[in-house]
Structure 1
Amino acid sequence: MIIKYFLTLTFLIALLSVKAQTNPVRINPNIVLPKDSIESKLLISTLNEFLNAAQKPNDENKLVLETEKVETFILLDEVNNIEKSEKYKDDYFYKPYLTNVVALKENQYLLQVSYIGTFENLSYLRTSFEFIAHKINNTFQYSSPLLRNTKNWKIEKAGNNVFHYQTTINKEKVKEFNKLATSFDLKLKATNKITDYYCTDNIIELQKLIGVDYKSDYNGRIQSVWSSSLGDKKLIVLGNNNSSFNEFDPHDLWHERLSLVISRSQVNKPVDEGCAYIYGGSWGLSWQEIFKAFKEQIASNKNTNWTEIKETPISFKTGNYPNSADNIVNALLVKKIEKEKGFEGVWELLTCGKFEKGNEKYYTTLEKLTGITKANYNDKIWELINSEK
């Protein structure tokens, strides 16, 4: 009986191991692999390990090139969960195909890998990636081609911010950016945090820089901003009509600086948004302009119950852009708390716990800081709204 149990357990473990690596890379027979068969086998085996590890958290991938981790993490975010198809209810629908191998120099190769799924004799291309394989100590480590693709770009430094660009940069806007970023860092007590910005015009340029030749998820999209972080370093690629850095959003800058100190997944999102609104406005509008729209569209109804809105958010528009009414309420609370308790009080509410149904942790912290309870929340918020100028 024990032997039977042991064999069954061994079979299940083996089955799970096979399932976890169901999709080894398929190799086109026309691909020119390294002439050295040992090196060729090593390249393929480590590529499989790298792609398999890419389905796990980035910092668990041992085959990422040590000197280019943050540059590669931004690409690995796109590889993660790439095999899954919601439409076909298959976690391993898209298979990896090695479509090209190019020797860049001794012990370095550029690899192109496409993920393709088939259904009823039709093929579906999900994505095409580029990786650089570096032979180090008898194994291969992998990186994004970002640094290679931008090796001839120019650099502008402002404080702990480094801007990478192709032709021109708006130096006055960089100074303005650095001044506001520094003020946020002082609030957050962020020191020695380095941020690299790569400036491009659109998401197509953004993707190609980091090694995404194509991804069906982004069909039709023109702009985006992608980022990755590791320790005291953050990397942001701007694909939003910003090749010369002629503009930036102070609202988004607050979120960026906060993420250098703590993951935004660990903070209370409405409070985080409240900080961003009060410190940086939003959608190119000042806090005063947004608050005016909030009063006209939401707070003009004197029957509005802010406790209910806390649980069931509603929104209003500034131009074509939506804004959560609860975020504006939190902006008012942030303003009150910072005036009375300093930013240390704001930080306490910001880190009180994630948004949750009932918001018990939120109300407990809010009462400690301001005396506002869940019972008097609606009345106190009305007082803040009516006193705001």
Structure 2
Amino acid sequence: MPIILQQTGQHKNQKNNCGYIRSTATILLLVLILLQLHSYAQTPVAKSKLFKSEVPQDVQSRLLQALDTLIYKIDKGLPLSKTNSIGGTLTNSIFGTVKGIGVYGAAKNDSLYFPQLINLHAIADDRYLISIAYIGSNSLKAIIDFEAKINHDWITFSIPLFYLTEKWKIRNVGNITYHYANDINLARAKKFNSNNTRIAEKLGLRPEKFEFYLVDNYQEILKLLGYSYDSETAGHETDGLGISSGYIFSIMHNEDFSHDTFHYYAEKVRTHPRNGAAEEGIAYSWGNAYYTDSSGEMITQKQLVKLLKIYLQQYPNTSLLELFSKNPLIFPAKTKVRSLIASIISDEVERRKGITGIRALIDCGRGDDNYFKVVNELISVNPADFDVELKKLLNKYN
């Protein structure tokens, strides 16, 4: 599945996710695969009938042969010749997404997609951009761009991220290195650097350094990572990507990534399967609600508490337990009432039990039954008296 990678806590695979990426299934930020030119009897990549290029034919042949080898090895799970040490841990994630697209063999039907070379052009001396379309009998699955560099007997492949951003500006703010084309909001950048330190230290961890790319929307992120088109996420705009192997891609050009920074560090201390409600609640409280408002600012827990109070005034017979369980869309910009309620609970856990209680909440295990079991043990809130107790907690917020 293209570049929406498997995420920590499965943000993309659960109803209440906000896009956190599992660090063990990292996005590709730098992939340099050094391949000895080696041919196979079967060539997986064919030239499109409409393919045209000004690259000399002998160079085309070398590049296509090397790309054939790369894709063949990925698809068959064969070891790659050599992996650059900078991006060694990142290669499997991106190539895993490619493996899910390419299909080898003679059979063709609507569920199978075959790679076709659709574009190849030079971008510098011995450097080229190659575009591959994965096409089925009636549909386009994805278009993937590779940067290739010829090094004597080797072909080096990478995603186009660094080529596309090589003229961007760079600004260091504490542990965060920002990469941006035009503008940066330093106040937000400093806030995120502070939050990164605060969240890590609260969980007893050392704050880490991150490379942070500021982009305007999710489609721009995909293009930087090599996906010019992805049928799974076409038109998708409002998510970011990360944290993965030290890299972050912004949510709608916002410098703050505190929400998923909590998820990143929480995974390092969790010993049981992730509980979505527990972690989302803490992320809403310690960080933000992940999405931006109409002014480009991160939506905060404080803002959503006010909206929830207004909603309850308008609909006084509303069940808070039902809001938590069914998670209806009553808030703007894909923010979740379930996560907000969980954040109110996590705040009370922290007030009464401190970080020990938060750690217990993080480690409560998957599912609402486990969540309520631990919450009841920590602060005596359970489904039977949920509405009564939650209204008391809600009244603590101005």
TM-score by length of 2: 0.69
| Range with greater deviation from structure 2 (322-331 or 143-152) | 322-331
- The CA deviation at 1:364 is 2.0
Alignment of structure 1 residues 124-203 onto 2, 5 Å: 124-133=139-148, 142-203=157-218
Partner of 1:372: 381
Cα deviation code 1:80-112 (max 9, x no counterpart) = 63359xxxx968422111234557788865432
Q: Residue 275 of structure 2 is aligned with which of 254, 268, 272?
A: 268
- The CA deviation at 1:191 is 1.9
- Counterparts of 1:227 and 1:62 in 2: how far apart (Å)? 28
- The CA deviation at 1:272 is 2.2
- Counterparts of 1:62 and 1:313 in 2: how far apart (Å)? 49
- Counterparts of 1:266 and 1:374 in 2: how far apart (Å)? 22
Determine whether 1:95 maps to 2:104. no
Cα deviation code 1:252-307 (max 9, x no counterpart) = 52223422451899432222222233334544444333212212213765544444
Structure 2 residues not aligned, in runs of 5+:
1-41
Partner of 2:21: none
- Counterparts of 2:337 and 2:204 in 1: how far apart (Å)? 29
- Counterparts of 2:218 and 2:302 in 1: how far apart (Å)? 32
| Range with greater deviation from structure 2 (327-336 or 291-300) | 291-300
- Counterparts of 1:74 and 1:299 in 2: how far apart (Å)? 47
Alignment of structure 1 residues 310-329 onto 2, 5 Å: 310-317=324-331, 320-329=332-341
- Counterparts of 1:271 and 1:380 in 2: how far apart (Å)? 17
Partner of 2:224: 209
Structure 1 residues not aligned, in runs of 5+:
1-21, 55-59
Partner of 2:263: 258
- The CA deviation at 1:142 is 3.4
Alignment-mate amino acid for residue 172 of structure 1 = A
Q: SS in structure 1 opposite 2:351?
A: helix
Cα deviation code 1:153-198 (max 9, x no counterpart) = 2211122211012344333332233223322222233325222111
- Counterparts of 2:370 and 2:136 in 1: how far apart (Å)? 45
Alignment of structure 1 residues 1-389 onto 2, 5 Å: 24-28=44-48, 34=58, 41-50=65-74, 53=77, 65-69=84-88, 76=95, 79=98, 81-82=100-101, 92-101=111-120, 110-119=129-138, 124-133=139-148, 142-221=157-236, 223-227=238-242, 229-230=244-245, 233=246, 235-238=247-250, 240=252, 242=253, 247-248=254-255, 252-262=257-267, 266-282=273-289, 283=293, 284-298=298-312, 303-317=317-331, 320-354=332-366, 356=367, 359-389=368-398
Distance 1:337 1:136, change over 3 A: farther
- Counterparts of 1:36 and 1:82 in 2: how far apart (Å)? 23
Sequence identity, in percent? 23
Alignment-mate amino acid for residue 363 of structure 1 = F
Whether contact under 8 Å (1:70, 1:228) holds in the other structure is no
Alignment-mate amino acid for residue 116 of structure 2 = Y
Q: CA RMSD in A?
A: 4.0
Alignment-mate amino acid for residue 24 of structure 1 = P
| Larger fraction in strand | 1
- The CA deviation at 1:131 is 1.4
- The CA deviation at 1:334 is 0.9
- The number of residue pairs the alignment matches comes to 340
